[in-house]
């Protein structure tokens, strides 16, 4: 008897319906990217995240094509790099991304980082233009603080659907999450494993043992159990990818959720590149 493929529940956000667990491809070599994108789609993942600067959009496209999963079933995100924010460069870069991804549209296009060298109105205008042209279904931002997010929302004709940010147990992002929620946006969490730091945490290990789960599963569950939060998981291992996907058949209780949130600390931020990072909330 055929087993039914499980899919992640969807998070509604300003008209978009985004699978709560996505597969991220940051710092993933091309060969691994093509192999793993096909594999995770076979497992039941339906949300794949890449970016122009990752240098692996073409291999993401190969993985999508090799999977045999209908394009309409996949939620595909890419991000425009900061050097492409002037209008002409932006439009050209989106065309290049679509060509590499072997698709005529992406489901979500994000501004990757703030860049005040180009007026935000010009960046948001270009996002709206490619959306109107049908090349992009939904638009959003990444690594924006609450002030920039509010400004972007005001400037945009089309609703923004997510702000993709660093978010893990060591980093309190409640201000950004609350602001996003109030405006109808989701938050997409990257770096959920805090670059591997979560695996040594005794509190997380204890919660994992209680549920008979891995620390990674507990952290991913903590993320997606929060209203409006989407988690990206990244691995180059097939077994780990399957494990990471098995987070929708258990739940953390309120005290466990609070205990994990309580791990946040003032120096918890890991990603803050000079010249790109805004003034964080």
Q: What is the percent of the chain with per-residue pLDDT over 70, rounded to a whole number?
A: 98
> Which residues are known binding-site members for substrate?
112
Torsional class of 253: left (φ above 0), alpha (ψ -120 to 50), beta (otherwise): beta
Q: Indicate the average pLDDT of the chain.
A: 97
Of residues 78, 8, 71, the one with CA closest to residue 49: 78
> In this predicted structure, what is the pLDDT of residue 189?
98
> In this predicted structure, what is the pLDDT of residue 220?
98
Give the tens place of pLDDT for each residue, 134-178.
999 999 999 999 999 999 999 999 999 999 999 999 999 999 999
> In this predicted structure, what is the pLDDT of residue 39?
98
Domain ranges of the chain: 10-197+219-245
Beta bridge partners of 12: 17
Give the tens place of pLDDT for each residue, 170-223.
999 999 999 999 999 999 999 999 999 999 999 999 999 999 999 999 999 999
Mean pLDDT computed over 8-21: 97
Structure tokens at 196: 């591997």
Mean pLDDT computed over 233-253: 97
> Which residues are known binding-site members?
112
Of residues 47, 16, 77, 41, the one with CA closest to residue 228: 16
> In this predicted structure, what is the pLDDT of residue 36?
98
From the candidates 45, 54, 85, 191, give the one annotated as an active-site residue. 54
Of residues 220, 179, 236, 176, the one with CA closest to residue 22: 220
Does pTM top 0.95 for this prediction? yes
Q: What secondary structure, in 3-state letters, does the chain show? A: CCCCCCCCCEEEECCEEEECEEEECCCCCHHHHHHHHHHHHHHCCCEEECCHHHCCHHHHHHHHHHHCCCHHHCEEEEEECHHHCCHHHHHHHHHHHHHHHCCCCEEEEEECCCCCCCCHHHHHHHHHHHHHCCCEEEEEEECCCHHHHHHHHHHCCCCEEEEEEECCCCCCCHHHHHHHHHCCCEEEEECCCHHHHHHHCHHHHHHHHHHCCCHHHHHHHHHHCCCCEEEEECCCCHHHHHHHHCCCCCCCCHHHHHHHHCCCCCCCCCCCCCCCCCCCC
Give the tens place of pLDDT for each residue, 21-79.
999 999 999 999 999 999 999 999 999 999 999 999 999 999 999 999 999 999 999 99
Would residue 54 show up in a list of annotated catalytic residues for this protein?
yes
- Is the pLDDT at 6 greater than 90? The verdict is no
> In this predicted structure, what is the pLDDT of residue 7?
86
Confidence of residue 2 (pLDDT cuts 50, 70, 90): very low
Q: What is the CATH number of domain 10-197+219-245?
A: 3.20.20.100
Confidence of residue 101 (pLDDT cuts 50, 70, 90): very high
Angle (nearest 5°) at CA 19 between 64 and 194:
90
> In this predicted structure, what is the pLDDT of residue 1?
47
Q: Rounded to an integer, what distance in angstroms lies between the CA atom of residue 250 and that of residue 172?
A: 24
- Would you mind telling me the total number of residues written for the chain in this entry? 281
Confidence of residue 4 (pLDDT cuts 50, 70, 90): low
Q: Rounded to an integer, what distance in angstroms lies between the CA atom of residue 152 and that of residue 120?
A: 7
């Amino acid at each position: 008897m055929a087993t039914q493929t499980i899919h992640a529940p969807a998070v509604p956000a300003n008209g978009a319906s985004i699978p709560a667990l996505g597969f991220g491809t940051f710092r993933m070599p091309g060969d691994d990217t093509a192999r793993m994108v096909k594999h995770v789609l076979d497992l039941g993942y339906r949300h794949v995240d890449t970016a122009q600067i990752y240098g692996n959009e073409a291999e993401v496209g190969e993985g999508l094509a090799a999977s045999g999963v209908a394009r309409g079933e996949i939620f595909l995100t890419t991000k425009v790099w900061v050097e492409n924010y002037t209008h002409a460069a932006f439009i050209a870069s989106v065309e290049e991304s679509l060509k590499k991804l072997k698709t005529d549209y992406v489901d979500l296009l994000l501004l990757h980082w703030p860049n005040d060298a180009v007026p935000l109105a010009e960046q948001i205008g270009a996002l709206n233009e490619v959306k109107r042209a049908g090349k992009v279904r939904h638009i959003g931002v990444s690594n924006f603080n609450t002030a920039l997010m509010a400004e972007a929302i005001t400037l945009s004709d089309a609703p923004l659907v997510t702000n993709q940010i660093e978010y893990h147990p060591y980093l309190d992002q409640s201000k950004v999450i609350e602001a996003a929620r109030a405006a109808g946006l989701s938050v997409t969490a990257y770096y959920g494993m805090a670059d591997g730091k979560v695996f040594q945490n005794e509190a997380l290990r204890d919660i994992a043992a209680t549920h008979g789960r891995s620390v990674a599963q507990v952290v991913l569950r903590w993320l997606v159990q929060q209203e409006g939060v989407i988690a990206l998981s990244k691995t180059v291992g097939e077994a780990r990818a399957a494990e990471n996907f098995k987070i929708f058949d258990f739940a953390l209780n309120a005290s466990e959720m609070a205990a994990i949130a309580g791990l946040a600390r003032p120096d918890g931020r890991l990603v803050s590149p000079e010249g790109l990072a805004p003034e964080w909330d």
